[in-house]
Structures are given as C-alpha cells and as structure tokens.
Amino acid sequence: MLTVDEVAGWPEEPLALAARQARDTGRTLRTEVTGARAELTRLKRWHGRAHDAAAHRLAQEADHAEEIARVLAAFADTAAAAGTELAAGRDTVMRLVGEQSGIRADGKDRAIDTAEDSAQPDAKVRAALADLDGIDRRRASELSRLSADLDAMVHGHVTVATPEGRRDPDGIVNRLVALTPEQRRDLLRRMSSGDVDRVVAANPQVVGNLDGVPFGVRIVANRRSIEEALEAEISRGAGDGPRAHQLRAMLGTIPDPHHPGRRVRRQFITFANTKAGRSIEMFGAWSSQTRGAAVYVPGTGTKMDSAGANRTAAWNFANRSGAPVFLYMDGQFPPNLAAAASPGFATSMAPNLVGFSRALDAEVADHAPGAATTYIGHSYGGAVVGTAEQLGLRADRVVYASASGTGVLPGGADAWVNHDAAQRYSVTPPGDPIQPVQSSGAHGGDPDNAPGVTRMDSGDYSNGERVRGVHGHGAYFDDPGSDAFKNMVAVIRGEPVTPYVEREPDMPRPG
C-alpha cells in the first residue's frame, strides 16, 4: 500500500504532463494525415492505377490514424482525470497527517499525547491511504490497458472479442447500427469493458447516439465526439467562437446536483455538432436510493449555445428531487414564435423521444429497478411530449407545463397510446400567453382540460409574487422555490401535489 512519504513526494499535478503530451501527439497525428491527403488532392494531373492505389492506401491509414488519435485522446482524458483524483487524495492524506502531527487547520499547534502517536499514522490517515491506493491501482490499470492498445495499433487494427469470435471494431460498429436496441444492449453486455472502449474508439459519433447502448458507454463516446468537435472548430479558425466556448464548457465540470459540495464531469447521452446543436444531458446519477428519473423537454428557441437557463432548471430538478434528470434537446426546436405554429418540429422530434423512453426504461431496469419515469414538456416541448404519447411514449408520469398542446397528430389527448398507463399533470399560470394557443387546438388541445389530467397550482414565486401573465410562462422554471416548480418536483418524487386554485381567469374576459 502507499505510504505517507511516497504520497508527499508526488508532483503538484500528477500525470498532467502525460495527459498533455498524449493530447498533443493525437493532434499532430491528425494534422499530418490531413496534410498528406490534401497534398494528394492537389496533384490534379496524376491519374491511373498508382494514384488510385495511393489514395486507397492513404484512406486506410487515415482511418487507422484516427483510431490511434482517439485512443491517445482517451489516454489523455483518463490521465487528466486520474491526476485530479490522485491530487485530491494526496491533499486529504497530507491534511490528516498535518492534523495528527499537531498542526491544525488554523496553523496553531495541537497537543499530541505521545511520541508514538505522532510517529504512526492514525486510523483516518490509514483509511485515506487505502482509498488513495485503490484509486492509484484502478487508474494504473486503465492507463496500462490504453498503453497496450497503442502498442498493438502500431502494427495495424486491434480486434475485439465477441461471442462469435474476434472481430474488427469498425465491423462491430456497423453491426450495432443494424441491430435493434435490445440486441445492441445484449451484445455489448457480453463484451469486456476494454473491448467496448475499442468499439467506441472506432466511431464515437455513431456509438454515442445509438439507443440500446448503455448510457455509461454513450457518455464516454460523446465526450470523445465533443473533443473532436472542439478540435474541428479550432482547425477552422473558430477556436474563440461561441460554439467552441460551449464545447469547452461541455467538457468541463459542474456541481454535483446530489452533492453540491463536489464537482463532477458533465454527461451527454447524445451529441451532434449541428448548427443548433443536439444533445441529451444527464444531471445526477443512479444510486441505491434512486426512486425516479425525469426527462425535461424545453420549448421554442432552444439551442445548444444558449440553453443555460434550461440546464439550470434541469440541475435544480435533479437537486430538489434527488433523481437523475435528462435535459432533452435531441432535435430541431422552432427557432421563434412564428415557426412554433408549425406542427412539423413536434412530429420530427417525437419518434426519437419515444425511442429514448425505451432506452431510459432499460437503464432504470439495470440501475434502479422500480424507479418511476417522469416526462416534463414546457411550452412547445409539451407538444413534443404529447405527440410522443400519441406514438407510444412509455412513461409513469407526465407533466404538461405551460404546454402548447397535447399532441399535434389527429385526436389530441384522445390519441395517447398508453392513455391509462400514466399519471398526468398540467401547470399553466393565469394570463400565460400560451393560453390562446391551447384553446385554439392547433397543437392538440388544452392539457389543463384533458381527461385524466390533474391541473396543479401555479401559485407564487419564492418571493411571494403571484405567478401569472407573460412573465409567468417560463419564469417559474427559473425559481426552484416557486409553487409551480415545487409541484413538478413532487411529481418526480411521487409525492402529493397542490391542485389548482383559481384566483383569476386564465384569459382576460372580453369587455
């Protein structure tokens, strides 16, 4: 096991140099291969079999180099994470040693009973050393495996073990695409974690967006995809642009919503670097205490580069409910109110949401059996959720929050496939500008009046001001202390809600 003297001699930032060198090597490799392919393209007068053979060979080497660069990126990422964990563990050990040897946190001496006490690590120090030793061994194993992969890749593609024998990782990716989500999950479950990582390295953009691939694997794959998207922004000279800024933030950390005193990496279940950006971000984690999970679908104008308020709301849902919460932005939202009149955005997004609901059910079965799932659709996001219900969304609870309707397909709420299988709630403040849209039936009808839907009270903000009017359409999502937000949290937790109290008409009476 590690000793205090060994830990005390560690550098300030363990493995920082190794992480930086691995990342820089990967960048250099990509740059050189890109340059070689560009050089071949510039030889416009060269034709014939030799040219075609060179182009084919270069394409093969480019694919191989890309896989090596991804393994180098994985090594860099693992080394950086290991360094952070090791530094934190070292600091804990040295703090405890300082306390044992009589130096208090305030710099004053603390009495020591005997010389023997000061010479031997006490129980707290020994426990901290044991924890740190475990981290050290686990991270060393991960880095050793990645180093072995790099050594093997010098001589060509590595293969992975499957139930049918050893296969090329690219072939496994192609096979995953052709399988059903259930078949994907079964195949990956029967492979080692190291081989699954090799499949991720072959094509993280594909693996990270396949329903049926376990969320933990998708999170790793999408981190690779985000890193590569950032590299692409830098390469095209947009390294200081808003998208690059957003991608760097996505690779960073946030306070853990379940334990705000510590920071955790952000987690993405899907990611696509489209113009508006597409993603599903997970806030929180599964645990033995998990009793629910929630999916929050925001509304008009949602884009990856400007979704800060939506992320904060999702974080607050996770923090207040204790459940993992998924911010669902996996699609094209209406860019403005004029575009929101179209049902096309909902019909485009809803099928993917149905697929995600099945993927989420599989994760719940693996990590939190019996936990209830809740889907919250805000504004146009309510029309997306309602349309997904018309297509077979599997949910235990659904909340229509200032929702524009119950689904844009014919039949509205009457066309919900699992009509009696879920508890449904709505919350719409009086004077909310969505009220006329609800009444028009353009998106399927008013969820507040739909059969089987419990309308919850919108009440007041945390400062005592009434939730109402234009501001009330979304401001309660920004105030976790508001009555409306607390009601939505109660739904996620499976607790009683406060029913709607009419204090004024929903819409001003004419005349």
Rounded to an integer, the average pLDDT of 77-88 is 90
Spatial neighbors of 114 by CB under 8 A, at least 6 apart, are: none
- pLDDT on residue 455: 98
- pLDDT on residue 458: 97
Query: Is the pLDDT higher at 270 or at 151?
Result: 270
- pLDDT on residue 462: 97
pLDDT band at 113 (very low <50, low <70, confident <90, very high): very low
Q: Please, is 140 exposed, middle or buried when counting C-beta atoms within 10 Å of its C-beta (0-12, 13-18, 19+)?
A: exposed
Share of the chain above pLDDT 70, in %: 95
Lowest mean pLDDT among 145-149, 216-220, 337-341: 145-149
- pLDDT on residue 443: 96
Spatial neighbors of 479 by CB under 8 A, at least 6 apart, are: 461, 462, 485
Structure tokens at 96: 């405890």
CATH architecture assigned to 274-493: 3-Layer(aba) Sandwich (3.40)
pLDDT (tens digit per residue) in 414-456: 999 998 889 999 999 999 999 999 999 999 999 999 999 999 9
Residue pair 254/285 in contact (Cβ under 8 Å)? The answer is no
Partnered with residue 328 across adjacent β-strands are 280
Rounded to an integer, the average pLDDT of 271-285 is 96
Residue pair 458/427 in contact (Cβ under 8 Å)? The answer is yes
CA angle 96, 97, 99 (to 5 degrees): 65
Structure tokens at 316: 């607050």
- pLDDT on residue 105: 41
pLDDT band at 121 (very low <50, low <70, confident <90, very high): low
The residue extents of the domains of the chain are 4-157, 166-252, 274-493
- pLDDT on residue 266: 97
Tell me the pTM.
0.85
Lowest mean pLDDT among 51-60, 336-345, 409-418, 483-492: 51-60
Spatial neighbors of 429 by CB under 8 A, at least 6 apart, are: 402, 458, 467, 468, 469, 472, 473, 476, 484
Write phi, then psi, for 424 (nearest 5 degrees).
-120, 140
Mutual angle of helices 483-493 and 308-321, in 10-degree steps = 60
Question: In this model, does residue 511 exceed pLDDT 80?
Answer: no
pLDDT band at 43 (very low <50, low <70, confident <90, very high): confident
Rounded to an integer, the average pLDDT of 230-245 is 92
- pLDDT on residue 151: 84
Q: What single letter denotes the amino acid at residue 163?
A: P
pLDDT band at 508 (very low <50, low <70, confident <90, very high): low
Query: Is the pLDDT higher at 116 or at 13?
Result: 13
How confident is the prediction for the chain on average, in pLDDT?
A: 91
Q: Please, is 22 exposed, middle or buried when counting C-beta atoms within 10 Å of its C-beta (0-12, 13-18, 19+)?
A: buried
Q: DSSP letters along 355-421, please?
A: HHHHHHHHHHHHHSTTPEEEEEEETHHHHHHHHHHHTT---SEEEEES-S-S-SSTTGGGG-TTTTS
pLDDT band at 200 (very low <50, low <70, confident <90, very high): very high
Report how far residue 386's alpha carbon sits from residue 444's, in angstroms, rounded to the nearest whole number.
8
Question: In this model, does residue 114 exceed pLDDT 90?
Answer: no
Report how far residue 134's alpha carbon sits from residue 190's, in angstroms, rounded to the nearest whole number.
26
Report how far residue 103's alpha carbon sits from residue 88's, in angstroms, rounded to the nearest whole number.
19
From residue 357, alpha-carbon distances to 174, 181, 295, 317, 406 in Å are 24, 12, 9, 18, 18
- CA torsion angle 388 391 396 398 (round to 10): 30
- pLDDT on residue 36: 85
Q: DSSP letters along 32-71, please?
A: HHHHHHHHHHH-TT--SHHHHHHHHHHHHHHHHHHHHHHH
Spatial neighbors of 26 by CB under 8 A, at least 6 apart, are: 68, 69, 70, 72, 73, 76
pLDDT (tens digit per residue) in 137-183: 999 998 998 888 888 887 777 889 998 899 999 999 999 999 999 99
Question: In this model, does residue 107 exceed pLDDT 50?
Answer: no
Rounded to an integer, the average pLDDT of 225-231 is 94
Q: What single letter denotes the amino acid at residue 268?
A: F
